[in-house]
């Protein structure tokens, strides 16, 4: 038997959901809450398997309640059921620890199956919501282009420049790159020549200026 806590600020919605879910032999509604704060308190008392959570509610919204529950009782699964498919709501709910996000027009049998799946640890997203989660996910920053001064260097020479910028001496560079000190010296000479610099101090300063040493 899967124990379910219903959370919605509209009593008629909660009653309707309870009737639908309790018609399923493996689902049991153990409680109802009208806002996120009460939901968290009841969840800690009743220890349901799944919390069916609305998003927009007074006192504490569903996103904040989900986050609180995940901090206090991470074993309780949260399945969001709401009328709002706004990108921000979807992404915030999932990032806060919800295991699923469905809209209230989801057919009752699909909702029951989603509860079963979420209870087992699977993620459930309604039609079109996966794309919203992905579009709201921050994209990794583009790698910074190699500064023009360093574009003429080989990849190995760039590694040497990076280590010089970190204050490594030739022996330490050799150990780090698994090459001989003689090879390091050759690379340093080539770097000075290509960049038209006098010494490795200037190399270090240039590496620091362009954040190559980071």
Q: What gap in Å lies between CA 26 and CA 49, rounded to an integer?
A: 12
Bridge partners of residue 31, in order along the sequence: 5
- pLDDT score of 143: 55
Residue 20 CA to its chain's centroid (Å): 33
Residue 17 has pLDDT above 80, yes or no: yes
- pLDDT score of 68: 95
- Measuring CA to CA, which residue among 81, 77, 75, 79 is closest to residue 56? 81
Share the mean pLDDT of the chain: 88
- For 144: left if phi > 0, alpha if psi spans -120 to 50, otherwise beta; the answer is beta
Predicted model pTM: 0.61
Q: Are strands 100-103 and 77-82 parallel, antiparallel or unpaired?
A: parallel
- pLDDT score of 90: 81
Tens of pLDDT along 60-109? 999 999 999 999 999 999 999 988 877 677 878 888 999 988 988 899 99
Domains of the chain, with CATH numbers?
2-136 (3.40.50.2300), 148-209 (1.10.10.10)
């Amino acid at each position: 038997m899967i124990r379910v806590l219903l959370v919605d600020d509209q009593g008629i919605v909660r009653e309707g959901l309870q009737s639908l879910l309790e018609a399923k032999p493996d689902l049991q509604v153990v409680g109802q809450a009208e806002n996120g704060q009460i939901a968290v308190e009841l969840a800690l008392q009743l220890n349901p398997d799944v919390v069916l959570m609305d998003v927009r509610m007074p006192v504490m919204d569903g996103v904040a309640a989900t986050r609180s529950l995940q901090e206090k009782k991470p074993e309780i699964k949260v399945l969001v059921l709401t009328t709002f498919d706004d990108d921000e709501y979807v992404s915030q709910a999932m990032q806060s620890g919800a295991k699923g996000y469905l809209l209230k027009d989801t057919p009752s049998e699909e909702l029951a199956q989603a509860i079963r799946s979420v209870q087992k640890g699977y993620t459930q997203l309604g039609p079109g919501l996966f794309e919203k989660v992905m579009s709201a996910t921050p994209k990794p920053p583009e790698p910074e282009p190699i500064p023009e001064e360093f574009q003429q260097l080989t990849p190995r020479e760039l590694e040497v420049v990076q280590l010089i910028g970190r204050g490594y001496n030739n022996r330490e560079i050799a150990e780090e790159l698994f090459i001989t000190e003689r090879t390091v010296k050759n690379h340093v000479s080539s770097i000075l020549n290509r960049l038209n610099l006098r010494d490795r101090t200037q190399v270090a300063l240039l590496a620091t200026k362009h954040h190559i040493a980071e």
